[in-house]
Structure 1
Amino acid sequence: MQPTKSLPNEIRSAAIRVAELAYASAYAPYSSFAVGACIVDSEGGLHSGCNVENASYGLTICAERVAIGNAISSGHRGFVCCVIVTDTAKPVAPCGACRQVLIEHSDSLVVISRTLTGLEKQWYLSDLLVDSFSKSDL
């Protein structure tokens, strides 16, 4: 299902730009798969993140998790959108681990994935992670 909620154009444009700038800072010497992300909080605040790879591959941190970690560590809660930017032929969805971390904080989150050439796809996070594990399962 395509998301019907939309961000105000100025916030959406700014979030894309923040994700593009984060993309430029990505540390991806092993895979060369750079990702930039921007989490938009409910007050319109923008929080960036980029992927940070490690020679011990399992310790690599994805851009989406860096962005939400930055937002949370700055005291923000209530997220409405995650913008992802990659240099791929088509927009890519977040990995499973990022989906789980993001849905912990907002099951109504809109995910916007863009390529550097401007191709774009949007989803509701809840459509990407159906029947997710949550606090109610504990």
Structure 2
Amino acid sequence: MPSAAADDPAPQRAVPAGPVKTRESASAGYRRALAAHRAVAPPRPENPALAAAVVRQEQVRRELAATVFTDIEQDQENGVPTSLEDVRAQQRQAAEAVRAAAIRHARAERAGQAGTTGSPALRQAG
């Protein structure tokens, strides 16, 4: 004779009794312990290999952006970055400039003016 548990197709998961605890809703003791740990933990050193890779990627991105989007002003991009944070800030600024140029290009393409820009069309790999 089969049991009643065998008839139930999916077992019910246990639901927590209270709200989920996060760092924001943690106790004062947890916050003190975390602050004490952060005070004595050594800062993570910047990885030179990672920084070099970021600089190389930034150079490749600049070359590609200059080739594809010729109407972007690249005044800000002429400076050499001095730290990883500077590179990331430049990447965010450049990405926004590329995004704006892509939007302008798409609008011009919709308006039937895409052939006048002279920029190569992007194709989907298939």
Same fold (TM over 0.5): no
TM-score range, shorter chain: under 0.3
* TM-score, L = length of structure 1: 0.23
